[in-house]
Amino acid sequence: MAQQNRSIGGILSAFHILFIVLWTVVTACICSVGSLVFSPFSLHAARMSERLWYRFLLVVSGVRVTTEGLDRINKNQRYIFLSNHQSYFDIPVLSRGLNRELSFVAKKELFSIPVFGWAMSAVGHIKIDRKNARKARLSIIRAVETLRKKNISLVLFPEGTRSPTGELHEFKRASFTVALEAGVPIVPVVISGSWKINRKKSMRINPGTVKLTIADPIPVDVAQSMDKGSLMEKVRGVIATTLDGNKRFNE
């Protein structure tokens, strides 16, 4: 009987994954087309279409987002948000929890996906070629220009890739080059628990709660008084300490 129940549970889980995948693909296409249609006329409307898809994805996947520290940031101020990276759900979680227009720096392969990738370019996300240092530097320049010209904030993942266990990995310096050149306050942001929703190299989606913690912004003059290495260690220390405090979400 126990084996039969496990088999039934496995079948139901497979159907749940298939439903979410199909639903995600269909709605991603619809919302991406919406972003492409709106982008020549209203970037705000194009981004609203994108954010709507993020919210739908969280709802259908059974993912709840709790946010702590939202009162630490000004809705009219642009920021560089530096976050740890645990799963593909991090971007919808950040969009939902921060509740503002955001641009992300993402690997170039995502921009090659028909319709979806085109929409990413249309709304102002920035692709980066991790294997080409010169092109990566150009991406950094574009990221800074995008932040300065448009009323948006930028999200960077200093780890460069998702953590398979939720543990914090070493940071890469490129994110801090952008952060220092942008000339806006830097905000460490901590995602706790999203790795359990969708683990690296797995299609399985597990409903649950993700906690988003917004730390105190680092003012421009403070950040620019530090060298890149010191700033990196400061931000990593804040994120590591907060992750440790959010253990019940991250275990």
The residue extents of the domains of the chain are: 63-250
Place of tokens 């999203």: 194
* Stretch among 40-49, 101-110, 130-139 having the lowest mean pLDDT: 130-139
Q: How many helices and strands (H and E) does the chain possess?
A: 10, 7
- pLDDT(2) > 60: no
- pLDDT(47) > 60: yes
How do residues 114-127 score in pLDDT, each as one tens digit?
A: 888 888 888 888 87
Radius of gyration of the chain (CA): 18
* pLDDT recorded at residue 211: 95
- Is residue 151 within 8 A of residue 42, CB to CB? The reply is no
* pLDDT recorded at residue 133: 61
Report pTM: 0.86
d(CA 153, CA 150): 9
Q: Which amino acid is at 64?
A: R
* pLDDT recorded at residue 76: 86
How do residues 165-177 score in pLDDT, each as one tens digit?
A: 888 999 988 888 8
The CATH number given to 63-250 is: 3.40.1130.10
* Stretch among 31-35, 40-44, 55-59, 94-98 having the lowest mean pLDDT: 40-44
Residue whose C-alpha is closest to residue 111's, from 96, 93, 125: 125
Q: Which of 140 and 100 is assigned the larger pLDDT?
A: 100
Q: Which amino acid is at 35?
A: S
What is the pLDDT confidence band of residue 8, given thresholds at 50, 70 and 90? very low
* Stretch among 4-18, 21-35, 188-202, 230-244 having the lowest mean pLDDT: 4-18
